[in-house]
Amino acid sequence: MKPIITPQELLGLSQQPHLVLVDARTGPQAATQFMAEHLAHAVYVDLEKDLAAVPDNAAHGGRHPLPPVEAFAALLGQRGISPETHVVVYDDKGGANAAARFWWMLKAAGHTQVQVLSGGIQAALTAGFPTGHGPATSTALPSYPFTQWQLATADLEETAQASQDPHRLVIDVRDAYRYLGESEPIDPVAGHIPGAVNVPLTENLQENGQFQSPEALAEKYQSLLGDVPPEQVIVHCGSGVTACHTLLALESAGLTGAKLYVGSWSEWCRNGKPMAVGEEK
């Protein structure tokens, strides 16, 4: 199953019996916005509560470490997701935020039938997808049957080693101004991991907010990777959320196997690691 679905393709699936739509919008008003309007029959997941185990100190795993497997397995069951379910997840940022994180986590749970909605809720509304409001209703199921994350991740030390290895590649998907250290809106220090290359996740999208074609993404990332195999690539962002957008783009391009550095810059900058600014490598 291709990892990205268009609004038009989703319209054709709207009556599929095993379809579960997941709304992964973020921000302080996300739950309120969901109650006011969401795609018909969607269920809601909260990045801070459901898709991460937010620590007291981001030096230990970053701002959005993965939750315990047992907690995520229980969440999936509560949202009516089983191994037979076709899941489509969306957010309000073109899939660039928690929708991609949920996609990665569900893939890491071993689920194969999961796609991100290109263009997010805005594109679906433009395409005429029906909407609903109020609390979600879903049939609760047993916990999803998985016991460990099945996609590759990298920790602080592996990322440090990879960033200085000419046979590996560390990709920073944050906006250029954050990578360059011009300012930092979230974490305490501005800059980037020495040796990391900056490829902002926004480059994965067209001007209309929908994903670039698989062919365009393949051309872009194959040129970037060169002789480095995807398995030797580590992708990071600020806290391991939007990095999943580029992992999704790589998957769409047919370049599978890159690792997620979950702790990302939020962990790196709090642990006395070397930091660079500007175009410095």
| pLDDT value, residue 221 | 98
* 74: confidence class by pLDDT, cuts 50, 70, 90: very high
| pLDDT value, residue 22 | 97
| Residues 87, 112: Cα–Cα separation, whole Å | 9
The whole-chain average pLDDT of the chain stands at: 96
Spell out the residues 6+ positions from residue 1 whose beta carbon is closer than 8 angstroms to its own: 112, 113, 114, 115
| pLDDT value, residue 78 | 96
Which tens digits make up the pLDDT trace of 100-126?
999 999 999 999 999 999 999 999 999
| pLDDT value, residue 200 | 97
- pLDDT above 90 for 139: no
pLDDT, average across residues 206-225 = 96
CB neighbourhood size of 14 (10 A): 13
Claim: this prediction has a pTM higher than 0.85: yes
Which tens digits make up the pLDDT trace of 52-69?
999 999 999 999 999 999
Lowest-confidence range among 11-20, 173-182, 194-203? Answer: 11-20
| pLDDT value, residue 96 | 76
Element (DSSP H or E) covering residue 169: strand 169-172
Residues marked active site are found at 237
pLDDT, average across residues 1-24 = 93
* 83: confidence class by pLDDT, cuts 50, 70, 90: very high
Position 140, amino acid: A
**Any idea of the CA torsion for 46, 52, 55, 58, to the nearest 10 degrees?**
-110
Q: Give the three-class secondary structure for 128.
A: coil
